[in-house]
Amino acid sequence: MKRVGILLLALAALTPSFLSLYHANAATLLITVDPNTYSGSGNVIDSTSGLSGTPSNVTYSASTNCGVFSFAANGQIAFPQTNFGSQFSISAWVKPNASGSSIQTLISNAGANLNTNGFKAYWNSWQTTDRKMIVENGNGSAGSATVSTSAVVTNSEWQHLVYTFNTSTRAITMYRNGTAVTTDSTLLVSNPNTNQAWWLGALGGNSYYMYAQLGIVKIYSTVLTSAEVTSDYNSTSARYAATPTCPTPAAPSNSVAPSISGTTSYGSILTAANGTWSGSPTGYTYQWARASTSSGTYSDISGATSQTYTLTAADIGNYLKVNVTATNAGGSTAALSSATAQISKATQATLSASLSVSSKTYPYSQALTITPSGGSGTGATTYAVVAGGSASGCSLSDASATPTLTSTSNGTCFIQATKAADSNYLEATSASATFTFNRATPTSLSITSTSGMYTQNLSLTTTGGQSSASDTFSVTSGPCTVSGSLLTPTANGTCYVTAFRAADSNFSATNSPSTAIFIAKAVPNLSYSLSSSPVYRQTTTISLTVSTAGSIKFLLNDKAIPGCQSKVANAGNGYIATCSWKPAARSYVTLAMQFTPTNTSYFSGRINGPTYLVAARVGTR
């Protein structure tokens, strides 16, 4: 050791900056857990490197000794994996209470058992209250404990405890209130793990809790010298005096700029987010500002000093920023947000239009009263027909709220309201209001043709109905067929017929009631002739021509002529029946023919001839 000291002095003489360089780099803070900068809720943030610790069963008092954490049963603050390195020092202000009856842990990165890989710094030997300062460490297979030779920790009193670790020399040094504590000089084991998750107030996060109040904790990345320990003690001891003197914190510092959220249109509310600050600000103030260009000169908006800001007409076309000022006991610091998008006119409230009437039958013209609702601003409201309706030629007489709507066909017309833009609001259009033009109901349709005759086609006629479409007829029953408007009887009797008239653009379709049409029997055509004038005892042929098949009885003075009682006329004989008659007397006679048709849809017929005088025979027989 003497040689090392002489060498250092020699080097200092040769290189004056050596020792100052050594001291400048010796006490380098790695972690600072300071209740004085705690926000009062949430995780505990290490103010040197930003580590986040999760408290559990730990209470906080800002008014006690410039801020303290109180650890009761199960109290701890858990931190993530941290590399403490091969040399480090732990300093902490603690005020133990008498609740502990065994190990009271200040800090650990390992659990119970001597050999557990890692380290633990605490006071009180296992199952005692001997108030000795102790360091345990292990490497997984071996472990050791360095213990103060006497009780040095005092209950119910603030004291400054320091533990230094050098895993290279395996040396451990302990201090209380700036003074080195005599230990049993037990060395660290080789290679304890110093790069793990760690806990304040608990052994391995689950046992041997601290039962104390905890003030500021500092972890250095070097082994503190005695002078550095004294300096560390003096730098914070005023906090823990009978009348504490609290440090003035640094003014807040911004690391993430404030931001603005919300819709950038007239009447909308913008909200300022504070951004990210260190220094535990105790309050924020706001000042909104506007400019005509995004990168222009921003002027404060009078009275706009809340966290939220409602956009006004003066903001339209401009850009806004917000200046957020964070304050703590150390002072105030301002940070400016980025610019918003250009502030636009607002979208109007939903606009709608209702019609005084919504439908009409032919003729297709209707006076309307249109009532708007919704919308915003002072713009005028006008009305127009828009595409999409099924009617043809929809048109409004004007754009006012009292127009006349017309169309050239039945169907729907769509009418839309438009509220014009003004200085604050964009133009708005409504959903379409629907108006329906319906076909008119026509007058009753009826068939006017009510009688016909077998063998004669009947042209059907109607009255009523107003559609311009042609009538369509159908036979519902009876001995008839129909083609177009021509009814063809297939027998005599009664035919029942209905008429249907299709819709046109103005009138609805209509049906007639079923109409009875009486079909009379047909009258057969009969004509006769004599081959010669009747002469006594000479044969004369009587011929009867008919228009349909049937049987004929030839009569002489209303009595059947022998052999001519039942003659047949049909297609085979050209519908001609003949009778050979030889007058048997010279006198006046009357001929007649009685016709009975085969088809019962014909009437029977009779033809009466004139009175003939049978002439005398001339010449020999």
Alpha carbon of 521 to those of 136, 489, 548, 597, 603: distances in Å? 135, 10, 13, 11, 6
DSSP state of 231: H
CB 520 within 8 A of CB 492: yes
Please tell me what DSSP assigns to residue 205: T
Q: What is the mean pLDDT of residues 447-455?
A: 96
Instruction: Look up the pTM and report it.
Output: 0.55
Structure confidence at residue 1 as a pLDDT band (50, 70, 90): very low
- What CATH class does 13-240 carry? mainly beta
**151, 199, 142, 190: which is closest to 170 by C-alpha?**
190
pLDDT at 33 over 80: yes
Residue-wise pLDDT tens digits, 517-535: 999 999 999 999 999 999 9
Residue 214 has pLDDT above 90, yes or no: yes
- Cβ-proximal residues to 575 (8 Å cutoff; 6+ apart), any chain: 545, 546, 547, 548, 549, 569
Task: Read off the pLDDT of each residue in 440-449 and give the average, rounded to a whole number.
Answer: 95
| Angle between helical axes of 2-14 and 17-26 (0-180°, round to 10) | 110
| Cα separation, 409 vs 394, whole angstroms | 9
pLDDT band with cut points at 50, 70 and 90 for residue 220: very high
CA–CA distances in Å: residue 19 to residues 8, 16, 24, 166: 8, 7, 8, 20
Would the pLDDT of 16 be above 50?
no
pLDDT of residue 621: 53
Residues for the chain: how many in total? 621
Percent of the chain past pLDDT 90, that is, above it, reads 90
User: Measured between alpha carbons, how far is 590 from 612 in angstroms, rounded to an integer?
Assistant: 6
Q: Given this model, what pLDDT does residue 75 score?
A: 95
Tell me which DSSP letter residue 14 carries: H
The per-residue pLDDT for 101 is 85
Per residue in 50-103, pLDDT (tens digit) is 999 999 999 999 989 999 999 998 999 999 999 999 999 999 999 999 888 899
Residue 12 has which token pair?
């200092």
Residues 285-328 have pLDDT tens digits of 999 999 999 999 999 999 999 999 999 999 999 999 999 999 99
Strands (E), 46-86: 52-61, 68-83
Domain residue ranges of the chain, discontinuous segments joined by +? 13-240, 253-336, 351-436, 446-520, 526-613
* pLDDT for the residue 620: 56
Report how far residue 134's alpha carbon sits from residue 16's, in angstroms, rounded to the nearest whole number: 39
pLDDT at 314: 97
Report whether pLDDT(282) > 50: yes
Q: Cα(553)–Cα(608) distance, rounded to whole angstroms?
A: 12
The answer to whether the 13-240 and 446-520 domains have the same CATH topology is no
Q: Average pLDDT, whole number, for the chain? A: 93
At the topology level of CATH, where does 526-613 sit?
Immunoglobulin-like (2.60.40)
Q: Give the mean pLDDT of 195-217.
A: 96
Residue 590's pLDDT band, with cuts at 50, 70 and 90, is very high
CA separation (Å) from 476 to 473, 482, 513, 515, 516?
A: 10, 10, 11, 9, 10
pLDDT digits (tens, 9 = 90+) for 132-141: 999 999 999 9
- Listed in sequence order, the DSSP H helices in 15-111 are 17-26
Report the topology of domain 253-336.
Immunoglobulin-like (2.60.40)
**Under CATH, which architecture does the 446-520 domain have?**
Sandwich (2.60)
Distance CA 296, CA 140 (A): 65
Q: What is the mean pLDDT of residues 374-378?
A: 96
CA 160 to CA 102: how far, in whole Å?
Answer: 20
Asked if pLDDT for residue 129 goes beyond 60, the answer is yes
